[in-house]
Amino acid sequence: MLTHRIIPCLDVKAGRVVKGVNFVQLRDAGDPVEIARQYDAAGADELVFLDITASHEDRAIMLDVVRKVAEQCFMPFTVGGGIRAIGDVTALIQAGAEKVSINTAAVVMPDIVAQTAKRFGRCATVVNIDPKRVPRAEFEARRAEREAKGLFAPRDSNPSTDYVFEVHTHGGRKPTGIEAVAWAQEVVRLGAGEIMLTSMDADGTKNGYDVEMTAAVSARVDVPVVASGGCGSPEHMRRVLTETRADAALAASIFHYGEYTIQETKRYLADRGVPVRLTAA
Amino acid sequence: MIGIVDYGVGNLRSVQKALEQLDARAAILAGPDQLRGIDRLILPGVGAYGDGMAMLRQRGWVAPVLDFIRTGKPFLGICLGLQLLFDGSEEDAPANGPLVPGLAALPGAVVRFREEQATPRLKVPHMGWNTLTWQRDDPLLRGLNQGDAVYFVHSYYARPVESAARPVASAMCDYGGPFCASLWRDNVWATQFHPEKSQRVGLKILANFAAV
């Protein structure tokens, strides 16, 4: 039986993990390679590295991190953040990233999704979608603007609510005028083999995933969806994995600060009937 | 020495590093001229079937790989490397047209998971950790427990032509129905999953391959 993946997410800046990771065993709390090895040993199902670096020089450092992780961790991992052109994708894959996650670039130039899928396969092509709830009228104004420019701008498929799940880019700062479900379907058509779905409303709150939004998107695409944003406890994972069609749950601080171990989290889920992979401690 | 066939698809370092961690010596082979002294061969691979076959041909690997298999020395295909062993694949083939031809070292076709083959609809690609059920005593799976999970990421899978006298599949996995997760016939092994990404269980399989 296919198990649900439990995925720690690491933010990397200039080759260092930020938001610190609080493992007792760690000699260097900022070393992404050492942290990755710890999560590997702890039985994490996959790792996500988000490069939050701005400068060009730091991109080379990130590639070095990816290379080292690939050589020392025998588990799947995805790298996202800062992908602006197909050349960035190629460099990450050649460094050993198994999957790359494209976010803002997919909105700015959707062809990058198709190119990534064509060169490296759908299985390596992840699109990160960051929706936020916005009032319908605000969304509609931006959508109409896009439509006037001849851009992808379908009407919201669920006009019964007074809010819309609007895709944002640039770390949640920039609204796009694109509705999340329609965008998810569009990137799958373009070649995405997985969607990482991060609620900009829930992210950082630790109040739980946006179950309604995750349910809406995961029911309408035929590729795996990773729920992200807002995880504060294993119960939040149980909810999003049982009440939606999400395949995986991503979390950061609950693992990094040692609030819950991967083992405890998986045991909690397994005891409540959620299929997860249990590994020997 | 274990050889890893480099035909320009994907990063091969993780396979090599996994073997090195197990104290097995492994070399990435840029071309068939480097096969001297290789007593075990691994065909890895990610990406599309047609591209994979085209690259094998372009780099002159097709005949040397088949010759190596005929020598009886241990051979391991991983993911696309498993699929390429078969007669052909639906991937990149025209609808209702002929399959894209493979190496034809094993009888059978490679087909795509269908979203409608399960309710609720199957998500394709099949991505994540799924459990193995062995069919028989495969030396590559020794030391594993029935139901151990390994890491899969693929949209296509092989349908071997099975015969009681010469079985192909050695372990099955379930995703909208059973499919061939690993195979073993004579000196040929292959896994649809990625042992080099499957943590402890995967490393055990690679260690077994280094010792068969």
Q: What is the CATH number of the domain that holds B134?
A: 3.40.50.880
Establish whether the linkage from the previous residue to A32 is cis, with ω within 30° of 0: no
Instruction: Reply yes or no on whether the pLDDT at A28 is more than 70.
Output: no
> Is pLDDT of A117 > 80?
yes
Tell me the one-letter amino acid at B17: K
* CA nearest to B133 within chain A: A1
CA distance A211 to A107: 24
Q: Which two tokens stand for residue B181?
A: 């997760």
Residues of B in contact with A74 (CB under 8 A): 14, 17-18, 21, 196-199, 202-203
The answer to whether B41 touches B68, Cβ cutoff 8 Å, is: yes
**Residue A23 pLDDT greater than 60, yes or no:** no
* Residue B206 to residues B97, B189, B196, Cα–Cα distance (Å): 37, 11, 8
Edge-to-edge strand order for the sheet containing B133-134?
B26-29, B2-5, B40-43, B75-78, B188-191, B178-185, B169-174, B133-134
Cβ within 8 Å, pair B129-A277: yes
CA angle, A97 as apex, A203 and A30 as ends, to 5°?
55
- Cα–Cα distance, A167 to A169 (Å, whole number): 7
Structural domain of B37? 2-211
Number of domains in chain B: 1
Structure tokens at B93: 């083939």
Distance CA A244, CA B12 (A): 36
Q: What is the pLDDT of residues A30-68, one digit of tens each?
A: 889 999 999 999 999 999 999 987 677 788 899 999 999
Q: In this complex, do B10 and A74 lie within 8 Å of one another by their Cβ atoms?
A: no
Chain A contact probe: residue of B21, B49, B55, B153 with most A CBs at under 10 A = B153
In this predicted model, what pLDDT tens digit does every residue of A247-257 receive, in sequence order? 999 999 899 88
Which among B21, B130, B194 is the nearest to A1, CB-wise?
B130
The tens digit of pLDDT for each residue in A183-217 reads 999 999 999 999 999 999 999 899 999 999 999 99
Of A22 and A4, more confident: A4
8 Å CB contact of B123 and A76: no
Query: pLDDT at position B128, please?
Result: 98
Partner-chain contact B197 A75, CB within 8 Å? yes
Q: B96 to each of B76, B99, B100, B102, how far by Cα in Å?
A: 31, 9, 12, 17
pTM of the model: 0.95
User: From the CA of A154, how many Å to the nearest CA of chain B?
Assistant: 24
What is the pLDDT at residue A258? 86
Q: Are B123 and A248 in contact (CB < 8 Å)?
A: no
Residue A257, pLDDT score = 84
Give the model's pLDDT for residue A279.
Answer: 85
Q: How many CB atoms lie within 10 A of CB A103?
A: 24
Chain-chain contact of B127 with A224 (C-beta, under 8 angstroms): yes
**Cβ separation A1–B131 shorter than 8 A:** yes
- pLDDT tens, per residue, chain B with 212 residues: 999 999 987 778 889 999 999 999 999 999 999 999 999 999 998 888 999 999 999 999 999 999 999 999 999 999 999 999 999 999 989 988 999 999 999 999 999 999 999 999 999 999 999 999 998 999 999 999 999 999 999 999 999 999 999 999 999 999 999 999 999 999 999 999 999 999 999 999 999 999 99
A92 to chain B: nearest residue by CA? B11
| Digit-coded pLDDT (tens) for A122-176 | 999 999 999 999 999 999 999 999 999 999 999 887 788 899 999 999 888 999 9
Predicted interface score ipTM higher than 0.90: yes
Helix (H, G, I), strand (E, B) or coil at B18: helix
- Decide the pairing of beta strands B178-185 and B188-191: antiparallel
**H-helix or E-strand containing B110?**
strand B108-112
Q: Does A5 lie at the interface with B, CB-CB under 8 angstroms?
A: yes
Residues of B contacting chain A (CB within 8 angstroms):
10-11, 13-14, 17-18, 21, 46-48, 115, 120-131, 149, 151, 153-155, 174-175, 194, 196-200, 202-203
Band of pLDDT at residue A27, cut at 50, 70 and 90: low
Q: Does the pLDDT value for residue A25 go beyond 70? A: no
Q: How many angstroms away from the CA of B132 is the closest CA of chain A?
A: 9
Catalytically active residues of B are 79, 194, 196
